[in-house]
Structure formats: C-alpha cells, structure tokens
Amino acid sequence: MKLRKLKSGWWSLCLLPAALLLILLAGCSSGSPNHPSPTGNIASDAVHDYGQNIHSSLEAGKKVECQSDLQQLRTAIQMQKDSTGQYPASLADLGTQMTALETCPSSGRPYQYDPSTGKVWCTTPGHEKL
C-alpha cells in the first residue's frame, strides 16, 4: 500500500481552525470587556452562577410553598368561621394538622394572625402581598 504525500496547503487548513479556537479561548479566560470574569476562571464562574441559579430556584419554590400554606390557613379559618360563627382565637385552634403551617418555610418566621378579622399574613420580606 502506497501512502500519498499531502500537500503543504492541507496542513494550513487543519491548523487554522485550531489556532482560531486557541485565540478565542485565550480571550475568554479573562472575561469580556462588558462582562469580566470575577475570578478569571470561566469554569469556576460557571459553577458559581449555577449555584446562584439553584439558590434562586429554591427561594422561589419556598415562596410558592408559603403562598400555598397561607391559602390553606385561610381556607381552614373560613371553614371554622362558617361552622362556628366566629374566627378561631389563634392559628393553633385550627387543629394539629395546621400546626405545621404556622411558619414561613422561607424564613421560619411565624405567620401573623388577627382573630378579629380572620386575616393571616407573612412578614417575610417579599411575601407581604401573598
């Protein structure tokens, strides 16, 4: 079997994409002028960003859980009002099934309750309008 000799132009075509890739990677390692890399290490920054995204997702989930807890408490309060004619004196009066719902899952702060109006709310910042 006879090997053909490659022309010198062939090697230029092979090395050109590799050289361009190295130039691009070298430029990215220090970040772009508009978005500099905080640590200078893109892989480390990507892991950090991923961690922040996970944390944001968890916080959003806890906010939804807080909203769900408040809705369940409001339903239980209204059911007690409908059956007895008055609002419960405290959230603890709703029964043992509702005691797990007495604190915000995001902050651990207890929900506030006004027995004269039957209103329940969360004092965690960002949860005031839930």
Q: Is residue 15 part of a domain?
A: no
Q: Is residue 98 part of a domain?
A: yes
Supply the pLDDT for residue 103. 93
Q: Is residue 28 part of a domain?
A: no
Q: Is residue 10 part of a domain?
A: no
Q: Is residue 19 part of a domain?
A: no
Structure tokens belonging to residue 54 = 């996970």
pLDDT tens-digit series, residues 51-88: 666 767 888 888 999 999 999 999 999 999 999 999 99
Return the C-alpha torsion angle 11, 12, 15, 16, nearest 10. -160
Q: Is residue 2 part of a domain?
A: no
Q: Provide the domain count of the chain.
A: 1
What's the Cα-to-Cα distance from 71 to each of 16, 74, 102, 103, 116, rounded to whole Å? 63, 5, 12, 13, 18
Residue-averaged pLDDT of the chain = 77
Supply the pLDDT for residue 41. 65
Check: CB of residue 62 under 8 Å from CB of residue 52: no
Supply the pLDDT for residue 48. 58
Cα angle 106, 59, 127 (rounded to 5 degrees) comes to 55
Owning domain of residue 96: 38-130
CA nearest neighbour of 98 among 117, 78, 76, 114: 76
Q: Is residue 13 part of a domain?
A: no
Among the residue ranges 112-116, 118-122, 124-128, the one predicted with the least confidence is 124-128
Q: What is the mean pLDDT of residues 38-56?
A: 64
Q: Is residue 30 part of a domain?
A: no
